[in-house]
Amino acid sequence: MKPPFRIAVLECAQPLPSVQEKYGTYGDIFRVLLQSGADTLGMPEVVSSKKGLEVSKWDVVYKQEYPSLEDVDAVLMSGSQFTAFHDDPWILKLVDYTKKILAQRRVRVIGVCFGHQIIARAMGAKVGQNADGWEIAVTPMDLTAKGKELFKVDRLNIHQMHRDIAFEHPEGVEALGSSPVCSVQGMYAKGRLISVQGHPEFNQEIETIIIKARHAQGIFTDALFEDAMGRVGKHHDGAEVSAAFLRFLLED
């Protein structure tokens, strides 16, 4: 695949109001992430924050709008506060759309958190709530050999915000990494898909807003909140993950 990359961000949720006021919707947030990844890639003659990226955004929850596959080169599915294994009509529609992408060989799919789980579900893997509980804030991810090759680091630090997980790797994908709380932290199939359970698009401010909101709602205990706030400001490798996404698109 050659630039310009026409990447459709499927917005599977809307950010909290204070996040949206400053950063826009998730399509806007991912555009910034992809631009950062393009510069991190270090191939300015091919793709950079200034050229080679055409990012569109699609509200698949409330408007249920989708791009035609003929008009895009890749689809990126965002995270969400919703549950990937539920059977709400819009979720079933998203799963069917994902199956349609995976059934062909030109358009590639990228999944993040909820999007990662939707890919797993579309490929027949079990997705559900993790009995080990929440994984939040910046967390180290142990990488497989393939994960190290794609992300260009020996260990990945990434923002997390999830309790649901994929319990298994679908047939035909390679594992990218794991953590003590979640064994399926990333998936890859050359020319078809790449996904991560974490949130490369989050920064310290976005993650902090979500942590504080969920603590105020009683979703996070005091102990969980304090632990997360102690890690939320640590270094994270969002740009490296984004560069891996683009490296994946550049593969033959």
Residues serving a catalytic function are: 113, 199, 201
pLDDT band at 1 (very low <50, low <70, confident <90, very high): confident
204 vs 125: CA distance, rounded Å: 32
Burial code (b: 16+ CB inside 10 Å, e: under 16) for 169-205 equals bbeebbbbbbbebbebbbbbbeebbbbbbbbbbbbee
Each residue's pLDDT tens digit, 44-73: 999 999 999 999 999 999 999 999 999 999
pLDDT at 252 over 90: no
**Global pTM value:** 0.97
> Domains in the chain, ordered, with CATH?
5-250 (3.40.50.880)
